[in-house]
Amino acid sequence: MAKLRVTTVQSRVLLVVLVLFGAVSAPGQDRATPNPQLASKEINSRVETLLKQMTLEEKIGQTVQYSAGFATGPSASKLTYDELVAKGQVGSMLNVVGAEKTNHYQHIAMEKSRLHIPILFGLDVIHGHRTTFPVPLAIAASWDPGAAETVARVAAEESRADGIAWVFSPMVDIARDPRWGRIIESDGEDPYLSSALARAWVKGYQQGDLSKPDSVAACVKHFAAYGAVIAGRDYNTADMSELTLRQVYLKPYYAAVDAGAATVMTSFNSINGVPATANPFTLTQVLRKEWHFDGFVVSDWGAVAELKNHAIGDGPTVARKALEAGTDMDMEGDLYGTVIAAQVRAGKIPESVVDEAVRRILRVKFALGLFDHPYTEAGPAYAATEQKREIARKVADETMVLLKNDPVEGVGALLPLTAKAKTVALIGPMADDALDLLGAWTVAGNKKDVITLKSALQQRLGDGLLYAPGCGLLSGEDESVLNSVTFTGPEASVNQTLPDDSKTIAEAVETARKADVAILALGEPTNWMEGEAASRVHLGFTGNQEKLLEAVVATGKPVVLVVVAGRPLELTWAAEHVPAILEAWSPGIEAGPAVEDVLFGDVNPSGKLPSSFPRSVGQEPLYYAQSPTGRPAHGDLSHLPRNAAEKFVSRYMDEQNSALFPFGWGLSYTRFTYGTPTVDRAQVPVREIVDDHRPVVTVSVDVRNTGSVAGTEVVQMYIRDTEASMEQPVRELKGFTRVTLAPGETKHATFPLGFDELNFYNLDMKKTVEPTTYDIWVGGSSLATAETKLKIVE
């Protein structure tokens, strides 16, 4: 029997054989800086030498960022960009892409500005730069930090070749409400999974050495708690206890900072009444004092100026509050450059506050090597090479989540499709939509690089493929939505000509009747209806896609539903009536081949959900790690209450409490069985755990492939503290690993438990471990039933 030793996370991806990541460690008061490069004596000596030569205006110039290209809001600059750069009145620019364009401004900075300080160019690089990979939520579905690191590595190389030394990624906001459009950029609902991925993103971008010519500075966003905006409405406020903030929402940010992230971006929301961009608690107390962050903080687009809308002061006042709170750079707010100097001279802002912000910015510029190598050498035009496509396809393969795969009469499990399916009908608006398959927020991506599902299946099946679009993504009822779309960024377009869906649905039904099996590719318009400013109150398929699905299912033909979306959708009807459902997310340039791989069994799906899928939008926010209640509901309670015991509990009258597809869920073409997990120590003294932050207990479990094909299982470990001084969630993920097993093979997986996994925040907001009993489950989802216990004693 093979043995597999797992520390905290084990993962595999093309070009990465084995990547091990440690658990998120507790932030100690005496720990060293998380990025020694930024704290180095050499860099800080150069910073101080330069700072002494700078005038007040030149210092403030370093805190100013403007966009000289594609924008997500109105431009704030009143001077030409050439003039700003020559005067030293801008320290960073965003949305300037390519060697020719970046070198233009860099030559001005290095040759015409008095102190020759280079410009730092930044860009939204969310799921790849030129090579577009699956969206971040999809990458989280791989449960493979190695995949995230690979995507970041490729993106960093391509970004640096385009003159971009700073990427506004990763977004590590905990997102528990899919009504919020930016869930697509997140790693999902769980702080442990998100923390593991946050470290991987930073490692891939920065390589532990910002001075490498193909490294970029990562920017962790959005600090903080942006994913908790009330009702899932973008830019809304977040309101929560400090306990929840620390125990859930801050953890992934800390993991990224602890991994050495060079920069942090503030969020648009307020937190408990204090806007995040002017919040001294999060930006100074937590980020600088507790976490020892040495990099710099940039606002989100216009967020400093938007503080006026939060009604905490006029322009000069909000600029002062943001700067003093710890926001070092003003992105497109046009306030730092216009109102700070006068306040410094009037004695309202100490110049030392400006100096500290400039130090932090210059540290990053020196660390990136921009003073020594400011220019970008022009290279050949980008091409989606076979090597890059292979990497993109491999990552996309791992992100596919098989939600359902029921048997069909005469076939058995519908997937994978076999030679019996000689004629396949491909139906749906997502089947040949390159732009939406590419995914939202692809600034430098190109839909021409996308291989669609139709193209991939046509190559595989030839005349055996029948195709019908079925309907559009939107219908006439969506005219108000169309009229509200004014965003005109890269690759953002809306087809205002809506098809006659009644006719095309009828044609699709006839196409399905001619086939042995029908594949429906449905979803939502990912490129402009997901991401920023894309909140929804209805989470079903848009337009007439649900009608199309019901019409095709009514033919009696076996149906495979492929869902293309960057957020969990409401799939209740489909889950009841469709035998096979594959969540494909937004797969990127290799969308078609990756979906084809899974549908035909070339790849055995291994993805697991990073976010719970609701039965109804009324359940949101929905997540597995719920806090306990004094009146818990037991069972599914899908019926109306029949007695007081079923009535007076924490439940809905018209729906089950549980998710339709829960966190960690994902099926395979094989079967995995779990032995009973064990702990190597049944009891551990609490003092041993608190005094020594290393693992003190090992949880072990045997996992066996009892099916007929090889497969990869994501083995997950959950715990519950049953006797804590503060109530703890009913389950919390505290370990996972990807285990690949041949048919009949068994492997022995182990997980560490120590202070990092067992601690929680007490009433004094201090991390602690107490005498208690932990329930421990290991399995293939958050519904794991294989159980053991651990006793913590005095």
**Cβ 260 vs Cβ 312: under 8 Å:** no
CA 43 – CA 35 distance, rounded (Å): 12
3-class DSSP state of 435: helix
Active-site option among 190, 300, 449, 756? 300
Dihedral class, residue 439 (left if φ above 0, else alpha if ψ from -120 to 50, else beta): left
3-class DSSP state of 740: strand
Active site residue 300: yes
Residues comprising the chain, all counted: 794
Other C-beta atoms lying within 10 Å of the C-beta of residue 572: 15
CA 166 – CA 156 distance, rounded (Å): 9
Query: Per-residue b/e over 763-779, b at no fewer than 16 CB within 10 Å?
Result: eeeebbbbebebebbbb
The full 3-state SS of 214-234, as one line of letters, equals: CCCEEEEEEECCHHHCHHHCC
Q: Where is 582: in which H helix or E strand?
A: strand 580-583
Closest CA to 506 of 480, 535, 456, 469: 469
Q: What is the dihedral of CA 429, 431, 434, 436, to 10 degrees?
A: 50
Pairing of strands 465-468, 424-427: parallel
* Residue-by-residue DSSP string for 673-730: EE---EES-SEEEHHHHHH--S--EEEEEEEEE-SSS-EEEEEEEEEEESS-SS---S
How many CA atoms, within 13 angstroms, populate the side-chain half-sphere of residue 504? Answer: 21
Angle between helices 386-399 and 145-161 (to 10 degrees): 150
C-alpha 523, offset from chain centre: 19
3-class DSSP state of 116: coil
Dihedral class, residue 753 (left if φ above 0, else alpha if ψ from -120 to 50, else beta): beta
- Residue 760's beta-bridge partner residues? 768
Question: Which residue has tokens 């033919």?
Answer: 555
CA 586 – CA 566 distance, rounded (Å): 6
- The two structure tokens encoding residue 463: 């005349």
Closest CA to 751 of 785, 716, 792: 716
- Residue 145's beta-bridge partner residues? none
The residue type of 595 is V
3-class DSSP state of 775: strand
- The two structure tokens encoding residue 286: 């937590």
* Residue-by-residue DSSP string for 27-46: --TTPPPS-TTTT-HHHHHH
Other C-beta atoms lying within 10 Å of the C-beta of residue 734: 21
Pairing of strands 767-768, 760-761: antiparallel
Backbone angles phi, psi at 464, to 5 degrees: -75, -5
CA 511 – CA 266 distance, rounded (Å): 51
- Residue 562's beta-bridge partner residues? 521, 582
Q: What is the Cα Rg of the chain in Å?
A: 26
CA 206 – CA 371 distance, rounded (Å): 18
- Residue 793's beta-bridge partner residues? 685
The residues annotated with a catalytic role in the active site are 300
